[in-house]
Every structure is written in C-alpha cells, then in structure tokens.
A = this chain, B = another copy of it.
Amino acid sequence: MGILEPTQPVQTRQTDVNEWLDILADSGYRLTAPRKAIVQIMAQSRHTLTPNQVFIAARQRYPNIGLVTVYRSLEKLEELGLIWRVHEIDGCHAYVAAPSGHQHLLICRSCNRAEYFKGENIEPLINRLGSERGYDIQEHWLQLYGVCSECQS
C-alpha cells in the first residue's frame, strides 16, 4: 500500500470575488479598480495564468492597467494565500486560484486547466526521512501533469 491514497475529487474553490476583496481590505490593502479586475480574473479562472495573460485579460475590464500592477497584485494575492504560484517548464511563473485546505495540483499540459486533489498522507514519509537523514523538512511539493479530457479529443 502506498503512502499516497486517492480520495474523492474536491472541487471546493474560492471563487467568491467579494470574499477575496474583503480579505484584501481586511489586510489593509486598498480596493482599487485594477485590483478588482485582477481578482475577478483570478477568482473565476480554472486555468493557470501567466502575469502577461492576466494583463491581457485585465485590459478588457480596465484598459489603462499596467503590467507592473499585475505583477504587484498577484504578489499580494499569493501572500494572502488566495492564489498559488506554479512553476512553468521554461522557468516562468503562472498563478492559479488556491484550493481550500491542503490539496495538490493536476495541470493539463495543453490548456493549463488546473484540478485539485487531496488524499496523500505524506507525514509518515516526512517523519521517516527527516529522522533518517537528519533533515528538518519544512515543505513538500507534489504536482501531476497530463492532458485533460477536452484536449485529448
């Protein structure tokens, strides 16, 4: 039996734009028009988005927005745990709406659609490795890559 056990699909995702805005405000950040545009885009997307993709999408809602503002807003949303930063193959970064609780990512290599899954009990492995190798293990990183059903057809 493996350390990783599959579980039910969990689709709970923080898509509530107003909730995100409240969290921003409660954290002392101002609610500006560019920020609202970015929050709308990130909270509602099921795909990973690069800063430039967010920039292009945000200009539909707020044409004067600057790319640097996108970078800065994404940075804050990540800091608040509302979005995750994922590493692209080429070394660039993209972002996705964060799932609720501790989950991991399954990303479609073709369309960048992101799914979340739970179900790994990695603690025993971490404890064993930590004591065996003398490491203080702080973080783990599990991601799956594949092709989603739509992109297969």
Contact = CB atoms under 8 A, between A and B. Distances in A.
- Assembly of this chain: how many copies? 2
B121 A134 contact: no
Interface in A1-17: 1-6, 9
A91 B50 CA distance: 13
Describe A's contact surface by its main secondary structure. Answer: mixed
B142 A146 contact: no
Contacts of A93: 91
A140 interface: yes
Interface string A127-153: 011101111111111111111110010
Contacts of A115: 129, 133, 135
Contacts of A147: 135-136, 138
Contact of A146 (B108, B109, B135, B152): B135
A117 interface: yes
B135 A149 contact: yes
A119 interface: yes
5 contacts: A2-B122, A4-B121, A6-B125, A135-B144, A141-B145
